[in-house]
Chain A
Amino acid sequence: DQQVKQNSPSLSVQEGRISILNCDYTNSMFDYFLWYKKYPAEGPTFLISISSIKDKNEDGRFTVFLNKSAKHLSLHIVPSQPGDSAVYFCAAITGGTSGTYKYIFGTGTRLKVLA
C-alpha cells in the first residue's frame, strides 16, 4: 500500500527548460512534505520542503507546489541544468504516536537533463 506515489519513474528534459516532477499521496493526515535528490552511490540530500498550510515554497530554481484538495504536490526546476540529473524522492511526514513523526517516501523519479 503505497501512500506516497511518484508515477513517473523517469523524465528527460532539455537543458534550460522546466522540469516538473509529480507526487501524489493518499493520506490526508500528512502535513509536511519534502523533496530529496539522490545521485548514484550517494545518500539522498534534502532539497526543499513545504508545510500543508502553504501552497507554494520557492528556493532559487526550485519551487514546490502543494494542492491539498487533490493530494498532489509537484517540484518545478527552472531552468533545468545537467547537474540536476538525479533521482528525486518525494516524502511525507505523518504524526505518529507519542508526538513522534514518520517519513513515508515515494519510489523516486529519475530526471535526466540533456545538454
Chain B
Amino acid sequence: GAGVSQSPSNKVTEKGKDVELRCDPISGHTALYWYRQSLGQGLEFLIYFQGNSAPDKSGLPSDRFSAERTGGSVSTLTIQRTQQEDSAVYLCASSWDRLEKDTQYFGPGTRLTVL
C-alpha cells in the first residue's frame, strides 16, 4: 500500500516569503506528526494531530508556524515570513493511534532552503 507522501520534495524560497508543505498520511492512520531536522540536529517535534482532537502544538518554535489537518487526512504545515533558520528537512509521520506506543511511518521529507 501507499506510504506517507510529502510535497514538494524540495523548496527554495526567499527570506520573508510564506511556504506551505503538504503531507498525505497512510490511509486510516488517525495520528499525524510533523518534525523538522536541522543540520546536525535530531528530529525536532513540531505538532501532532490525533483524530478530531485539538492538535498538540507544543513543539512549534514560533507563531510563524501553523498546521492544519483537513478531514482527518491531509495536513499542511505553513511557515509565514520565513527566516534562514527555518531551513531544514521537514518530516511528516503517521501512525494508527498515538494513545498506543505505536510505530510511526515517515514520509520522505521536504527540504526547505531559505535564502
| A residues neighboring B (CB under 8 Å) | 2, 4, 6, 9, 32, 34, 36, 41-46, 49, 89, 91, 93, 96, 99-108
Contact = CB atoms under 8 A, between A and B. Distances in A.
Given A43-B93, A93-B101, A2 B42 contact: yes
B56 A107 contact: no
A8 to B, nearest CB: 13
Contacts of B98: 100-101
Most buried by A among B40, B41, B42: B42
Interface residues of B, number: 25
Leading 9 A-B pairs by shortest Cβ distance: A43-B106, A105-B43, A107-B42, A105-B42, A46-B103, A32-B101, A44-B106, A43-B107, A43-B108
Most buried by B among A103, A105, A107: A103
Given A43-B4, A43-B91, A43-B106, A103 B42 contact: no
A34 B95 CA distance: 14
Interface in B81-115: 91, 93, 98-99, 101, 103-109
A5 to B, nearest CB: 9
Nearest to B43: A105
